[in-house]
Structure 1
Amino acid sequence: MTDQPRLLEGLDPEQRQAVIAPRGPVCVLAGAGTGKTRTITHRIAYLVQRGLVAPQQVLAVTFTARAAGEMRTRLRALGAAGVQAQTFHAAAFRQLRYFWPRVHETQMWQLTDNKFRLVVQAANKVGLSTEREDVRDLAGEIEWAKSSLIGPEQYPAAAAAADRDVPVLPEQLSKAFAAYEQLKNRAQALDFDDLLLHIAAILEEQPEIAEEFRSRYRSFVVDEYQDVNPLQQRVLDGWLGNRDDLTVVGDANQTIYSFAGASPKWLIGFPHKYPDATLVRLERDYRSTPQVVGLANQVIGAARERPAGTRLKLVGQRPDGPRPDFAEYDDETEEADAIARRIAQLAKRGVALSEMAVLFRVNAQSEVYEKALSDAEIPYQVRGGERFFARAEVRQAMVTLRAAVAYGGNDEDLPATVRAALREVGLTDEPPAGGAARERWESLIALVELAEELAATAPDADLARYVAELDARAEAQHPPTVEGVTLASLHAAKGLEWDAVFLVGLVEGTLPIQHADTDAAVEEERRLLYVGATRAREHLCLSWALARAGGRRYRRRSRFLYGLVPDEHPAALPNKVKQRELLSRPAKPEKPRCRICNATLAGTMDIKLGRCADCPSDVDEDLLSRLKAWRSERARQLKVPAYVVFTDATLTALAEQRPSDVSALVGISGIGASKVQKFGSDVLALIQREHRGGPETPGDAGFSDDRADSSKNTLRSARRSQ
Structure 2
Amino acid sequence: MENGLLSDLNENQRAAVEETEGYVRVAAGAGSGKTKVLTRRYVYIAKALGVAPEHILSVTFTNKAAWEMRKRIRSYMPDEDGGWILTFHSACHKILKYEIANLAYPSNFMVLDEEDQKTILQRIYTENGLTLRNFPFKKCLDAIEVYKSQSDYVPFLTDPKRETPAPDLPCAEDKKSMHFVILKYLESQRKNFFLDFADLIQFVLYLFEKEPAVLEKWANKFEYIQIDEFQDVSGEQYKLARRLASKHKNLFIVGDPDQTIYSWRGADVRYFNEFPEKFRGAKTILLDTNYRSTPEILAACNSLISRNTDRLDKRLKAAKSGGERPKYRHERSRTAESDFIAEEIGKLHEAGVPLADIAVLYRGNYMSRAVEEALVRKKIPYTIYSGIAFYQRKEIKDALAYLRLCVFGDDLSFLRTVNVPPRGIGKTRLAALQARAEAQGALLLEALRALHAHPLFKSTKAEQFIAAIDEGKAFLQEHDIADALDFILQRSGYTEYMMLCGNQDRLDNLNELKASVRDFVDSAGEEVNAEDYLNGISLISNADAEEKKDCVKLMTVHTAKGLEFKNVFVCCLNEGLFPSRKIRGKEEMEEERRVAYVAMTRAEDRLYLSDAEGFDAHADGALYTSRFLFDIEKDLLDASGSFSEGHLSRSKSYIQKSELDMGCTPAHANIQIFRAGDKVRHPLFGAGTVQELSGGAYTVLFSGGKTRSIAVSADILIPLYEKKA
Please confirm whether the aligned pair reaches a TM-score higher than 0.5, indicating the same fold.
yes
Q: Which SS does the other structure have where 2:634 is aligned?
A: coil
Corresponding residue SS for 2:86: strand
Q: Is the aligned partner of 1:350 residue 2:352?
A: yes
Counterpart in the other structure of 1:559: 627
1:211 paired with 2:216, answer yes
Asked whether 1:103 is paired with 2:161, we answer no
**Partner Cα separation in structure 2 for residue 587 and residue 491 of structure 1:** 26
Q: In 1, are the aligned partners of 2:151 and 2:205 still within 8 Å (CA)?
A: no
Deviates more, 1:335-344 or 1:141-150: 141-150
SS at match of 1:198: helix
CA distance in 2, matches of 1:122, 1:195: 23
Match of 2:466?
A: none
**Which whole-Å deviations, capped at 9, do the CAs of 1:584-610 have from their partners, x for residues lacking one?**
98998799799xxxxxx85624799xx
Which residue of structure 1 aligns with residue 691 of structure 2? none
Residues 303 and 632 of structure 2 are in contact (CA less than 8 Å); yes or no, is this contact kept in structure 1? yes
Distance (whole Å) between structure 1 residues aligned to residue 636 and residue 697 of structure 2:
43
Q: Residues 555 and 243 from structure 1, CA distance in 2 versus in 1: closer, same or farther, beyond 3 angstroms?
A: same
The residue aligned with 1:490 is: 557
Question: Which consecutive unaligned segments of at least 5 residues does structure 2 have?
Answer: 154-164, 170-175, 398-478, 480-503, 667-672, 677-693, 700-707, 715-725
Cα distance change of structure 1 residues 106 and 552 upon mapping to structure 2, 3 Å threshold = closer
Question: Does 2:518 align with 1:518?
Answer: no
- Comparing 321-330 and 178-187, the one that deviates more: 178-187
Measured at CA, do residues 35 and 382 of structure 1 come closer, stay the same or move farther in structure 2, by a change above 3 Å? same
Match for 1:300: what amino acid?
I
Tell me the equivalent position of 2:272: 267
- 2:433 maps to none
| Contact 2:66/2:85 (8 A) holds in 1 | yes
TM-score (norm 1): 0.66
Residue type at the aligned position of 2:185 = Y
State the partner residue of 1:34: 32
Alignment of 1:120-159 (within 5 A): 120=122, 130=132, 134-144=136-146, 146-147=148-149
Q: Following the alignment from structure 1 to structure 2, what is the Cα–Cα distance between the partners of residues 656 and 174?
A: 44
Paired amino acid for 2:99: F
Deviations 1:1-46 (A, max 9, x none): xx11111011000000001113221111100010000011101111
2:612 and 2:592 map into 1 onto residues whose CA distance is: 19
C-alpha separation between the residues in 2 aligned to 1:561 and 1:586? 15
Partner of 2:286: 281
User: What residue identity is the alignment partner of 1:211?
Assistant: E
Change (3 A) 1:5 1:118: same
Contact 1:508 1:559 in 2 (8 A): yes
Partners of 1:513 and 1:29 lie apart in 2 by: 28
Code of the aligned partner of 1:340: A
1:245 corresponds to 2:303: no
CA distance in 2, matches of 1:463, 1:268: 37
Q: Are 1:531 and 2:598 counterparts? A: yes
Deviation at 1:61, TM superposition (A): 0.9
Deviations 1:245-298 (A, max 9, x none): 111100111110111110111111111122322311000011000011011101
User: SS in structure 2 opposite 1:557?
Assistant: coil
Q: In the alignment, residue 544 of structure 2 is paired with which amino acid?
A: P
- Cα distance change on mapping 1:568 and 1:135 into 2, 3 Å: closer
Q: Is the 8 A contact 2:234 2:266 kept in 1?
A: yes
Q: 1 or 2, which has the higher strand percentage?
A: 2
Contact 1:325 1:542 in 2 (8 A): yes
**Residue pair 2:201, 2:236 contacting (<8 A) in 1 also:** yes
Closer, same or farther: CA 184–37 of 1 in aligned 2, 3 Å: same
CA contact (8 A) 1:126 1:175 kept: no
Letter in 2 for 1:85: I
Cα distance change, pair 33–569 in 1 and its aligned pair in 2 (3 A): closer
User: Are residues 4 and 147 of structure 1, via their aligned partners in 2, closer, same or farther at CA, if it must alter by over 3 Å?
Assistant: farther
Tell me the residue number matched to 2:120: 118
- Using the size of structure 2 for normalisation, the TM-score is 0.65
CA distance 1:43–1:587, change in 2 (3 Å) = closer
CA distance in 2, matches of 1:587, 1:511: 13
Q: CA RMSD in A?
A: 5.0
1:199 correspondence with 2:197:
no
Q: Which amino acid aligns with 1:24?
A: G
In the alignment, the residues of structure 1 paired with residue 252 and residue 46 of structure 2 have an alpha-carbon distance, to the nearest angstrom, of: 14
Q: Residue type of the partner of 2:218?
A: F
Residue 306 of structure 1 corresponds to 310
C-alpha spacing 1:667/1:16, structure 2 compared with 1 (3 Å): same
User: How far apart are the structure 1 equivalents of 2:118 and 2:315?
Assistant: 43
Give the AA of the match of 1:271.
Answer: P
CA drift of 1:349 comes to 2.0
Secondary structure in 1 aligned to 2:25? strand
Q: CA deviation at 1:110?
A: 2.5
Q: Shift in Å at residue 554 of structure 1?
A: 2.9
Q: Is the contact made by 1:330 and 1:547 (CA closer than 8 Å) also made in structure 2?
A: yes
Given that 1:57 and 1:219 are in contact with CA atoms closer than 8 Å, whether structure 2 keeps it comes out as yes
Alignment identity in percent? 29
User: What are the equivalent positions in structure 2 for 1:389-468 lying under 5 Å apart?
Assistant: none
In structure 2, do the counterparts of structure 1 residues 141 and 369 end up closer, same or farther at CA, with 3 Å as the change threshold?
farther
Residue deviations 1:507-540 (CA, integer Å, cap 9, x gap): 0001111110111111111000000000000110
- SS state at 2:568 partner: strand
The whole-number CA distance in structure 1 between the counterparts of 2:648 and 2:245 is 66
Query: Residues 583-594 of structure 1: matches in 2 within 5 Å?
Result: none
Residues 140, 583 of structure 1: alpha-carbon distance in 2 compared, 3 angstrom cutoff: closer
How far did 1:505 drift?
A: 0.4
CA shift in 2, pair 1:497/1:467, >3 Å: farther
Residues 530-549 of structure 1: pairs in structure 2 closer than 5 A: 530-548=597-615
- 1:28 is paired with a residue whose SS is strand
Change (3 A) 1:479 1:317: same
**Counterpart code for 1:320:** G
1:435-471 deviation digits (Å, cap 9, x = unpaired): x99xx89x99xx99xx9xxxxxxxxxx9999999xx9
Separation (CA, whole Å) in 2 of partners of 1:463 and 1:40: 21
Match of 2:408 in 1: none
Please say if 1:335 is aligned against 2:334: no
Q: Which residues of structure 1 form unaligned runs of 5+?
A: 157-170, 396-405, 407-435, 452-461, 595-600, 616-651, 658-663, 672-722
| Distance apart, 1:133 and its partner CA | 8.8
Tell me, yes or no, if the aligned pair for 1:59 and 1:85 is still in contact at 8 Å: yes
Structure 1 residues 319 and 22, CA, compared in 2 at 3 Å: closer, same or farther? same
Counterpart CA distance in 2 for 1:189 and 1:463 is 27
Distance 1:34 1:655, change over 3 A: closer
1:31, 1:283 within 8 Å by CA — same for their partners in 2?
yes
- Paired residue for 2:51? 53
1-structure distance, mates of 2:9, 2:351:
32
Aligned CA distance change for structure 1 residues 654 and 465 (closer, same or farther; 3 Å): closer
SS in 1 for 2:361: strand
* Distance across 2 between alignment mates of 1:537 and 1:242: 42
What's 2:429 paired with? none
Q: Report the counterpart of residue 318 of structure 1 in structure 2.
A: 320
CA distance in 1, matches of 2:187, 2:59: 31
Aligned residues of 1:379 and 1:485 also touching (Cα < 8 A): yes
Verify: 1:604 aligned to 2:688, yes or no.
no
Structure-2 change in CA distance of 1:148 and 1:225 (3 Å):
farther
d(CA) in 1 for partners of 2:352, 2:709: 53
Partner of 1:89: 89
Tell me the SS of whatever aligns to 1:562. Answer: helix
Give the C-alpha shift of residue 95 in structure 1.
1.1
| Amino acid aligned to 2:109 | W
Q: Is the 8 A contact 1:289 1:316 kept in 2?
A: yes
